[in-house]
Chains A and B, each alone.
Chain A
Amino acid sequence: MTAVAVNNIVKTYGKKKEVAALYDISFEVPQGELFGVIGPDGAGKTSLFRILTTLLLADSGSATVDGFDVVKDYKAIRKRVGYMPGKFSLYPDLSVEENLNFFATIFNTSIEENYELIKDIYIQIEPFKKRKAGKLSGGMKQKLALSCALIHRPSVLFLDEPTTGVDAVSRKEFWEMLKGLKQQGITILVSTPYMDEAGLCDRVALVQNGKILSINTPQGVVQEFPYPLWAIRSDKMLALQREAAKLSSVQDIYPFGEYHHVVLKKGSTAAQLEEFIQAHQVDNAEMKTATPDIEDCFIALMKPSIDTATDSLNENASK
């Protein structure tokens, strides 16, 4: 069964509709899936989530959540989805317990009724239940917000950048919690600007400038990576990047941890790069093959125009 279906959604802002936030977006999320919307700031993630949670109207296109239309049946959707906005949105002057109680009542339920669902998460902040929400740490705020969004056992959960501004350990814990919720049969849509979190989703949509670049499983996205990928390093990293970029077989080079990732053009061999590394032995230059990850794929997807442009240039040059 389809939990979320999006068909040709277009959303623009501004009086003359000059700012396009979403450009002809379509995708489907089956029930029980953990679906990631990955993209940089300003990609249109929040606009998409707000349209799906009935908070915004799209310019054109349609969408359904749990089979209900986001425009016509907005009341039905508001009863069954959980939503956690990107900004911390609980009452800072109410205590942890008061916040949770308040949201439980607003959603016609009580903490006891759905305690089972939030137990694993809430138990971590329960020792601080008398503390004001405004005085919690970032990670605890996030757990409380998630508890509040879950308190009515939603069928679809929308989490807009839940891990932004949260430390690495809390982020990891947070994703563990999402996996637990998936076991309960809750469909989860989560947006994030962090590429490393993509691998934790069942499927991801890579979005940029309001367009979906690719929808696939994380493995699928990686497998689709069409270029030979190498990692190089030397003692003079900056100079190495500048000079390697001039090689005719190199399509793209960017810093990646302590290495530079070198994307070679489709079908080209590493011979030229090897030669280049040999020539830089004075600076202890070395190279090795690299397995592409989501970030490599995203960077490659973000620059398709460069790819085709240089390809055609080279074709012209060879003629």
Chain B
Amino acid sequence: MKRHFPLSIFNFQFLAFVKKEFYHIWRDKRTMFILLGMPVVQIVIFGFALTNEVKNSKFAVLDEAKDDASQSLIAQLDASRYFDLEKNLTSYQQIEEEFKKGKIKLAVVIPAHFSDDLKHLNKASVQLIADASDPNVANTLTGYATSVIMDYQVRITQERKMPYTINTELRMLYNPQLKGAFNFVPGVMAMVLLLVCTMMTAITIVKEKEMGTMEIMLVSPMRPQLVVLAKAVPYLLLSVINIATILLLSVFVLEVPINGSILLLVAESILFTLVSLSLGLLISAGAQSQQTAMFISLVALFLPTIMLSGFMFPIENMPLPLRIVSNIVPAKWYYSIVKSVMIKGVGLQAVWKETAILAGMMIFFLTMAIKKFKIRLA
């Protein structure tokens, strides 16, 4: 009876196809849990394990002064949340032994007569020795230690009048506690959406080619382009669930606030999802096997997303050619949008340029995908 309504035919075919796709996803429970569990795992891993914040680093002290000033300085270091006192050393030789054992990251040497020098010469030195096998950590630790020592100095100089002093007052805007989560939540969002949308759509379409069902689908009245678009719908929905998961986790578990409009953030995320889906469709149009589709998705998309989106390494520090290449990585623009909207709390007027670029990319990829889609086998 349905054939009397030509307009609704389109809908019935399309809906039947979308329904079928949901069956595929729903019945492959393992893949489904991976798709839905991946953002949770990534947020947890990035949030608690792979953090580049330095907390509770163990340090050793060689205190040759053993006076009240040195003791209170050590107590202040130990009390800070960056450091834990591991050991009191008695000789210079022990320092390297401890570093070789790998237990400590920093050694603090306080020379003899520390308190006396400080009080009578107005000048005393403290030596900081750091394990620079990881230069970033060494830098951060010496920086933290220096600031703790400066704090201590400020405290004791308050008692006396100093002629000239410049006080630096630091204020970390948008992320006062310098939490790493502020940086990686947008990155993880880009990564997860790209993985789910691009790779999964590319793989499932190519799977139909491999199984031979695409052959039957082509010899049917259904428009081939609809086959492809219908594939994208379930993954769009999965992505919306993933966006929600990531945002909920980052707000309630990692305590990253959403300073801007949630609506704008979700809308931008959906736009990025559509870009990823179109890319997936484009890959599927060219690839003939699931392995090829996966390989292209990983090498051509996943790696650039991690490397060139600014999420792991700052783009400003890259050589010019890489900076130019980074402009064609969709995740770069999305990453910058999410950071602006979520962390800085700006509105659409501040990110319209990035939004326009993403929209342009989506239209370009989608047109290419539909154009490249083969209506025959070869």
Chain A interface (Cβ < 8 Å from any Cβ of B)? 50, 53-57, 74-75, 78-79, 81, 83, 85, 87-91, 93-94, 98, 101-103, 105-110, 113, 148-149
Contacts and interface: CB of A to CB of B under 8 A. Distances in A.
A55 B215 contact: yes
A238 B213 CA distance: 47
Given A54-B218, A89-B213, 17 more contacts: A50-B377, A54-B376, A55-B218, A55-B377, A78-B220, A83-B219, A85-B216, A89-B215, A105-B13, A105-B16, A106-B16, A106-B217, A106-B220, A107-B220, A107-B221, A108-B12, A108-B221
Contacts of A101: 16
B103 interface: no
B28 A89 contact: no
Interface centre among B12, B13, B28, B220, by most A CB within 10 Å? B220
B353 interface: no
B375 A74 contact: yes
A102 B218 contact: no
Contacts of A57: 376, 378
Nearest to A86: B212
Contact of B219 (A78, A87, A102, A105): A78
Interface in B203-227: 211-213, 215-222
Contact of B376 (A55, A87, A102): A55
B9 interface: yes
Chain B interface, >50% SS class: helix
Interface of B: 1-3, 9, 12-13, 16-17, 20, 23-24, 27-28, 211-213, 215-222, 375-378
A85 B215 CA distance: 8
Nearest to B17: A106
Contacts of A79: 221
Contacts of B27: 93
B25 to A, nearest CB: 10
Given A55-B377, A106-B16, A91 B221 contact: no
Nearest to A90: B213
A108 B20 contact: no
A52 to B, nearest CB: 10
Does more than half of chain A's interface fall in helix, strand or loop, or is it mixed?
Answer: loop
B376 A56 contact: yes
Given A85-B216, A108-B221, A109-B3, A102 B377 contact: no
A158 to B, nearest CB: 8
A118 to B, nearest CB: 16
Contacts of B12: 105, 108
A73 to B, nearest CB: 13
11 contacts: A57-B376, A78-B218, A79-B221, A88-B212, A90-B213, A91-B24, A93-B27, A98-B23, A106-B217, A106-B220, A109-B2
Contacts of A94: 20, 23
Nearest to B224: A78
Given A74-B375, A93-B28, A108 B218 contact: no
Nearest to B375: A74
The 3 residue pairs across chains A and B that have the minimum distance between CB atoms: A105-B16, A89-B212, A83-B219
A287 to B, nearest CB: 48
B23 A93 contact: yes
